[in-house]
Amino acid sequence: MKILKQILRTGIVTEPLPAEAAAEIRAVGAKLEEAIRKRFRGSLTIRQVDAGSCNGCELEIHAINNAIYNCEQFGIHFTASPRFADMLLVTGPVTRNMEIALRRTYNSTPPPKLVVACGDCGCDGGIFGESYASLGGIDKVIPVDVFIPGCPPTPIVLLNGILKAVGSR
Amino acid sequence: MSILKSAILAAIGTEAKFDGRNYPASMDFCAVPRGKFIDAARAMKKANALLVAEWSADESPLGRGFGVYACYRWGAEYLVVKIGLPYDDPVFTSITGKFLPAYRFERQMRSFMGVVPVGHPDLRPWIKFEDWPEDAWPLRKSFDASKPMPRVAGEYNFVRADGEGVYEIPVGPVHAGIIEPGHFRFQAVGEDILNLEERLGYVHKGIEKKFESLSWKDGSRLAGRVSGDTTVAHSLAYCMALESMTGCNVPERAQWLRALFLERERIANHLGDIGAVCNDAAFAFMLYQMSRLREIMLRTNHKLFGHRFIMDRIMPGGVSADIDSGGKEMMLSELKQLAKEFNRLVTIYDENSSLEDRVRDTGILIPEKAREICAVGIVARASGLNIDCRLQNPFPPYDRIGVNVPVLIYGDVNARVYIRIKEVRESIRIIREILETLPAGRISADCGIPASDTAGFSAIEGWRGEIVYWLQSGANSEINRCMVRDPSSVNWLGLEQAVLGNIVPDFPLCNKSFNQSYSGHDL
Ligand code: SF4
């Protein structure tokens, strides 16, 4: 009973959001939905790979799944298996210890294999740079379609980056 | 005289050289002869101390060999024991037989510094993978960290279990879901877990080595990226270790703001964790609700401090973000909504019997084991250990506001959830007090640069638990060594213990209730 009440009370969550934020999400969301409908038959499946991140980027990728950004409403789904993925969303720097696992994941992904590098580290290694342990940005190991800078990129920036990637092919 | 210091003196006598110059007052430091390292450990064990960390430093730029350090804790007391090893004979007696967490610390020291713990039961490399050259010791000064390392052939020998019906399940490094990479290997009979072996190190980024190439000031940015979910606490711990070396007086207002950031980080992470644990117990409703509350907090952070996780807002000497009266009002009304909705959700958690079925009696870490692995933070407090740096080593304003630290003894998934629930409530109270009593004044001071060949230390209660930094300056006052000990470095051992006898399908739930950092562990 209490659950029902809480659900009713929360409603469809847009209420705690200031209007400008909600508008922002709607704006990018509408474009995403449209692009995903055209190019991916309404459903974009993403495999997220942490190739060495500090886990900050993962938190924001989680956030686009939360009830406020609710990326599923635009047709974005996360999958556990690279074999069903249209897109790899990769955070990094790519560590030496993850290089092989990242390559394997890439090789098991069917075309079109969109690759999005997430965060300053995914773009160029960020503060970790290149060293004995860090290979640097994702494109040092696999081809990248779109780079999303930020440390970490906010959910809105992430959604915009994914949109850019969807339109890139 | 402190309990630990007397214990060392009683065991080793005048051969233990105490020296307070290089450390904060709360900390005793003593150098002992190499052969007495194990005697010191034995004395610490007898005094009921816990092992906080064990590490080594290449002190050749300071005209010495290797330093090997062990840090012990008893209540509010910390004590560091040091031995020196000559460069051409870097061996010492392992203390793993006395303190379980040394098991991994010493493997790590051997892997990265090439110092050898004699008598250690398991000298497989740790974090260093089998395809690294054997003689690659990244923390030695002679190691060129800028060059990529060649891959060599090698194999990691996992622990094996034989017997009828015993089978193995390897999982990872790339997991289902949006989580960090690591490898778990289960031995199971039917559904029951006989043994779990963790294999970590996949996200090793060379952080400790990287510190040595940075300025003192930039170090706090790197510390803020050791484990992104703990960016506030890590940069704070780094800064406080540095400030302990330079004698910097951080303005009061800055200290209050630091505590404010720390508590906001605690609440945001606890909310996420409570939701995630429930989700793994097939109660997705709670995940949606808790992530919504979390998102509200992050948005306030972004508005008030310019970053959703308050990253890079703590710096040596103070903070770089302040609040005004508008910010205070905004936070108070946010907290009001948060407290109300949170309490409602907790009632739902309490009354959900199918959830209770999953979280109670699952993944028990008994108090004796928690003590044995020297657990810290939430994991320790859910298993009967009353430890929290905000209580035992408070910096202002904690010493004035006081902290009610919840402790439970049952050690199951539910207890770890409940510690978080209680801490969210307490943190809300603390933030309100901070806002009411926030002193006026500057928010930063000049931190200065440490003198050469000094050391600094700090222990901060991040949301996972105690974070420890040990800094050492070199001959030219540069960073010679930065030792980072995330709570995960010890608490990962707790997960291995807690899952024994549980069923394999409950592993994700147990794991989530610990929620340790891979990045903070792998460094
Ligand atoms: S970009 Fe920032 S948040 Fe993302 S992995 Fe790098 S340091 Fe962490």
**Closest CA in chain A for residue B517:** A55
Q: What CATH code would you report for A43-166?
A: 3.40.50.12280
- Nearest by CB to residue B517, choosing from A2, A55, A68, is A55
ipTM over 0.90: yes
Interface subset of B 488-517, CB within 8 angstroms of A? 517
Which chain A residues are closer than 8 Å to B302 by Cβ? 154
CA distance B322 to B59: 40
**Which atom belonging to ligand 1 lies closest to the Cα atom of A126?**
6
Length of chain A: 169
**Chain B residues inside the 8 Å CB shell of A94:** none
Pick the residue from chain B with its C-alpha nearest to A125. Answer: B205
Instruction: Cite the DSSP H helix spans in B184-223.
Output: 207-211, 216-223
The reply to whether ligand 1 has any atom less than 6 angstroms from the CB of A157 is: no
Identify the closest residue of chain B to A57 by CA–CA distance: B228
Which one is the CATH code of B207-522: 1.10.10.10, 1.10.645.10, 1.10.10.1800, 1.20.1560.10?
A: 1.10.645.10
3-state SS, one letter per residue, for B256-276:
HHHHHHHHHHHHHHHHHHHHH
Domain definitions of chain B by residue range? 3-118, 207-522
For residue A60, the chain B residues in CB contact (below 8 A) are 308
Helix residue spans in A11-143 (DSSP H)? 19-40, 56-63, 99-108, 119-124
Ligand 1 contact via B20 beta carbon (within 6 Å): no
Q: Which candidate, A140, A136, A158, A141, places its Cα nearest to that of A149? A: A158
Tell me the two tokens of residue B159: 């622990």
Does the domain at B3-118 match CATH 2.130.10.10? Answer given as no
Cα(B26)–Cα(B78) distance, integer angstroms: 7
The residue to mutate among A57, A130, A147, A158, having the most atoms of ligand 1 within 8 angstroms of its beta carbon, is A57
Put simply, whether A6 touches B (Cβ < 8 Å) is yes
**What is the H or E stretch that residue B188 is in?**
strand B183-189
Cα dist. B140→B59, B64, B129, B212, B339 in Å? Answer: 9, 13, 17, 11, 50
**What's the CA gap between B452 and B455, in Å, rounded?**
9
Mind listing the pLDDT tens digit of every residue in chain B (523 residues)? Answer: 789 999 999 999 999 898 866 666 668 899 999 999 999 999 999 999 999 999 999 999 999 999 999 999 998 889 999 999 999 999 999 999 999 999 999 999 999 999 999 999 999 999 999 999 989 999 999 999 998 898 988 888 888 777 788 888 888 888 878 889 999 888 888 888 888 888 999 999 999 999 999 999 999 999 999 999 999 999 999 999 999 999 999 999 999 999 999 999 999 999 999 999 999 888 889 899 999 999 999 999 999 999 999 999 999 999 999 999 999 999 999 999 999 999 999 999 888 888 888 888 889 999 999 999 999 999 999 999 999 988 888 888 999 988 999 999 999 999 999 999 999 999 999 999 999 999 999 999 999 999 999 999 999 999 999 999 999 999 999 999 999 999 999 999 999 998 888 888 888 999 999 999 999 999 9
Closest residue by CA, ligand 1 atom 5: A53
Residue from B203, B213, B279, B344 to probe the interface with A (highest A Cβ count within 10 Å): B203
Tell me the domain boundaries of chain A: 43-166
**Long-range pairs of B498-502 with CB within 8 A, sequence gap ≥ 24:** B498/B363, B498/B364, B498/B365, B498/B369, B498/B411, B499/B193, B499/B196, B499/B363, B500/B193, B500/B194, B500/B195, B500/B196, B501/B192, B501/B193, B502/B192, B502/B193, B502/B362, B502/B363
Cβ-contact B255, B494 below 8 angstroms: no
Asked whether A57 lines ligand 1 (CB < 6 A), one says yes
